[in-house]
A and B are shown apart, each in its own frame.
Chain A
Amino acid sequence: MKKEDQSALTPRIIVIYCHNAVLSPEELREGGYLEEGFEVYFAALPCSSKIEPSYLLKIIADGADGVVVVACPEGHCRFIVGNNRAEKRINYTRKLLDSAGMGAERLVLERGEGLTVKDFLEMAGGRLEILKILGPNPMRGAEK
Chain B
Amino acid sequence: MIIAEWKPLPELVEKLKGHKRALIVGCATCVAECAAGGEHEVETLAPLLRMAMQKEGHDLTVLTKTLERQCEWEFVEQLAELAPNADAIVSLACGIGVQALAERFPEMSVYPGVNTTSLAIRQEPGLWLARCAACGDCALGETFGFCSVARCAKSLSNGPCGGTRKEGKCEIDENLDCVWYQIYERASARGKVEQLIKVRRPRNWSNSGHGGPKRMVREDLRS
Task: Give the Cβ gap from B112 to chain A, nearest Cβ, in Å.
Answer: 18
User: Is A13 an interface position by the 8 A CB rule?
Assistant: no
**CB contact between A96 and one of B48, B50, B62 (< 8 Å): that residue:** B48
Partner of A100, one of B43, B51, B59: B51
Task: Tell me, in angstroms, the Cα distance from A100 to B62 when the chains sit together.
Answer: 15
Minimum Cβ distance to chain B for residue A69 (Å): 16
Q: How far is the CA of A103 from the CA of B102 in the complex (A)?
A: 35
Which one of A26-34, A55-63, A112-120 contacts B?
A: A55-63
Q: How many contacts between A and B, using CB within 8 angstroms? A: 58
Please measure, in the bound complex, the distance between the C-alpha atom of A36 and the C-alpha atom of B44, giving whole angstroms: 33
Mask of A89-105 contacts with B, CB within 8 angstroms, 1/0: 00000001101111000
Contacts of B10 in A (CB 8 A): 99
Asked, given contacts A54-B43, A57-B44, whether A101 binds B61 with beta carbons under 8 Å apart, the answer is no
The distance in angstroms between the C-alpha atoms of A57 and B48, with both chains bound, is 6
Which applies to chain B's interface (DSSP): helix, strand, loop or mixed? Answer: helix
Q: Does A139 lie within 8 Å of B52, measured CB to CB?
A: no
Question: Digit string of A112-144 for contact with B (CB within 8 Å is 1, else 0)?
Answer: 000000000000000000000000001100111
Complex alpha-carbon distance, A75 and B121, angstroms: 32
Report how far A140 CA is from B48 CA in the complex, Å: 14
Whether A53 and B44, one on each chain, are in contact in the complex, defined by CB atoms closer than 8 angstroms, is yes
Q: List residues of chain B with CB within 8 A of the CB of A53.
A: 44
Identify 27 residue pairs between A and B in the complex whose beta-carbon atoms are under 8 Å apart, listed by A's number. Answer: A52-B44, A54-B40, A54-B46, A57-B47, A57-B48, A57-B51, A58-B46, A60-B47, A61-B48, A61-B51, A96-B44, A96-B48, A99-B48, A99-B52, A100-B48, A100-B49, A100-B51, A100-B55, A102-B51, A102-B55, A138-B51, A138-B55, A142-B54, A143-B60, A143-B61, A144-B61, A144-B62
